[in-house]
């Protein structure tokens, strides 16, 4: 049987190649991709966050863990099952300006994709004008903004303002998320929705369109 704790420990230790091997092995042993994600990788990243906060882990080590996480997610991506196959709608997603955190954003992107959304992932450090241009180009129904820093949350408001200034706000629903973001904050800045994690982001996106 797969030892999920071992996977968490390998992630926390930032051993990317080992983690890939262990994730692949877990899959080969029949462990569900969602179980690997929810019971090993996400709790592992939580520990990384706590240690970073307590000063027990430093940026280079956190980066190693983050890279290991991204590598593992690449393996899990095709396996996180599709609930529905037809396109549920088009979503543009990105991490706001000044913010380089992308693990959570990529997870949300992956979950939406696996649930049938067409997702255009703009990447990190996306300025309000970047979102505006992308909306003009791709005509999505939803714009999803991610921020992990209290200092970059303000960029969410700026992005919504930029969409308004360009006359685009009425044609899209904006959803926001990331560790420091709250439902209350989402309301204050005029976003249509907030979700605390990737699973509920999927439900939120569906509820906004149907």
Q: Which of 176, 186, 189, 192 binds ligand B12 (CB under 6 A)?
A: 176
Q: Measure the CA–CA gap between 184 and 175, rounded to whole angstroms.
A: 13
Q: Measure the CA–CA gap between 206 and 175, rounded to whole angstroms.
A: 12
User: Would you call 127 helix, strand, or coil by DSSP?
Assistant: coil
Q: Which of 97, 101, 169, 173 binds ligand B12 (CB under 6 A)?
A: 101
Under rule CB under 6 A, residue 148 binds ligand B12: yes
Q: Interaction with ligand B12 in 42-81: which residues (CB under 6 A)?
A: 45, 48-49, 52-53, 59, 62-63, 66
Name beta bridge partners: 173: 142
Shortest separation between residue 1's beta carbon and ligand B12, angstroms: 25
Q: Which stretch binds ligand B12 (CB under 6 A): 81-89, 155-163, 182-190, 196-204?
A: 196-204
Structure tokens at 171: 């044609």
Q: Measure the CA–CA gap between 141 and 68, rounded to whole angstroms.
A: 32
Under rule CB under 6 A, residue 99 binds ligand B12: yes
**How many residues interact with ligand B12 (rule CB under 6 A)?**
36
Shortest separation between residue 157's beta carbon and ligand B12, angstroms: 14
Under rule CB under 6 A, residue 107 binds ligand B12: yes
**Given the complex with ligand B12, which of 63 and 79 has the nearer CB atom?**
63
Shortest separation between residue 187's beta carbon and ligand B12, angstroms: 14
**Is residue 161 within 8 Å of 192, Cβ to Cβ?**
no
Which residue, chain included where needed, has tokens 């439902």?
183
Q: Measure the CA–CA gap between 49 and 12, rounded to whole angstroms.
A: 10
**Is residue 155 within 8 Å of 191, Cβ to Cβ?**
no
CA 24 and chain centroid, separation: 22
**Given the complex with ligand B12, which of 40 and 175 has the nearer CB atom?**
175
At 145, give phi and psi (nearest 5°): -115, 135
**Given the complex with ligand B12, which of 26 and 175 has the nearer CB atom?**
175
Q: Measure the CA–CA gap between 158 and 189, rounded to whole angstroms.
A: 9
Q: Which stretch binds ligand B12 (CB under 6 A): 80-88, 130-138, 158-166, 171-179?
A: 171-179
**Given the complex with ligand B12, which of 72 and 201 has the nearer CB atom?**
201
Q: Which of 127, 149, 168, 208 binds ligand B12 (CB under 6 A)?
A: 149
């Amino acid at each position: 049987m797969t030892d999920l704790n071992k996977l968490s420990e390998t992630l926390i230790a930032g051993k990317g190649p080992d983690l890939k091997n262990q994730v692949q092995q877990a899959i080969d042993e029949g462990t569900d991709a969602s179980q690997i994600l929810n019971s090993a990788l996400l709790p592992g990243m939580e520990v990384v966050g706590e240690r970073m906060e307590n000063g027990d882990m430093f940026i280079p080590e956190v980066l190693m863990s983050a890279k290991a996480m991204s590598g593992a997610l690449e393996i899990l991506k095709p396996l996180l099952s599709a609930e529905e196959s037809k396109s549920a709608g088009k979503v543009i997603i990105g991490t706001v300006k000044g913010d380089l955190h992308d693990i959570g954003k990529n997870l949300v992107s992956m979950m939406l994709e696996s649930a049938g959304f067409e997702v255009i992932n703009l990447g990190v450090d996306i300025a309000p004008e970047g979102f505006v241009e992308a909306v003009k180009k791709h005509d999505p129904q939803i714009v999803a903004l991610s921020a992990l820093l209290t200092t970059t949350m303000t960029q969410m408001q700026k992005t919504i303002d930029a969409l308004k200034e360009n006359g685009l706000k009425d044609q899209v629903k904006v959803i926001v998320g990331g560790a420091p973001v709250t439902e209350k904050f989402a309301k204050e800045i005029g976003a249509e929705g907030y979700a605390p994690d990737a699973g509920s982001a999927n439900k939120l996106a569906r509820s906004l369109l149907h």
